[in-house]
Amino acid sequence: MLQTIAGFSRARLSAPSTSIVSPATASRIGSVRYKRYSAFDAELDKDTLAVARKWHESFDSSQLPAGSTTYARSSGPGGQHVNKTETKAISVFPVKDILAVIPPILHPSIRMSPYYTAGTDALTFQAQSHRSRTANAEENRKKLVSIINQLYDEKVPAETGSDKHAKYKEVAKRFHDSRLKDKKVKSSKKQSRRGGDE
């Protein structure tokens, strides 16, 4: 029976249709999933990741360079106080000093930071939200630590847990099995063609 809806004809089916996935399609699907789960292994060097993870386990702000900080009059809150004292902190951390204390995997990203100043080849931070110049300088240091941690999170994936390892192996096995099945089907078709030609 045909039913016309909005100018189109549709066939009303008494039972829902079922789609059968061919071995070749299953193999392609398995291939995509296999690559998805193994991407981190293929693209990242395990030794480099191990070095970065070990460094991060003991990382704290004291390991970062002291840099140099200058002060200027602040335009922030504080009333008359900010007009009389130089509380705005401008901290400069040379890239060469930062690279000396962070793992190599983070090196290329340092100069891509929005805080990077090409003229001085350094990361430059400013803070003026506090009435104390010491507090503002410390805020700049916290910004540097935050940037380093952010780069680490972006560049170093978390270690794969046991559950994900199990799923990885399962996907790899399904991918391998589907390829074998696909080969058998193709081989069977070739043999049947040869038998028909004889």
pLDDT, tens digit, for every residue of 112-130? 999 999 999 999 999 999 9
* pLDDT the model gives residue 2: 46
pTM of the prediction? Answer: 0.58
Within 10 A of 160 (CB to CB), how many other CB atoms are there?
Answer: 13
Return the higher-pLDDT residue of 83 and 51.
51
Measure CA 52 to chain center: 15
Return the higher-pLDDT residue of 78 and 101.
101
Measure CA 80 to chain center: 46
Contact (Cβ atoms closer than 8 angstroms) between residue 139 and residue 130: yes
Residue 22 CA: distances (Å) to CA of 29, 91, 152, 176, 186: 11, 63, 43, 16, 12
Determine the Cα–Cα distance for residues 179 and 46; give it in Å rounded to an integer: 28
* pLDDT the model gives residue 1: 46
Contact (Cβ atoms closer than 8 angstroms) between residue 88 and residue 74: yes
> What's the rounded mean pLDDT across residues 62-69?
95
* pLDDT the model gives residue 77: 53
Determine the Cα–Cα distance for residues 105 and 57; give it in Å rounded to an integer: 15
Could you report the per-residue pLDDT of 32-63, keeping only the tens digit for each?
444 444 444 446 688 899 999 999 999 988 99
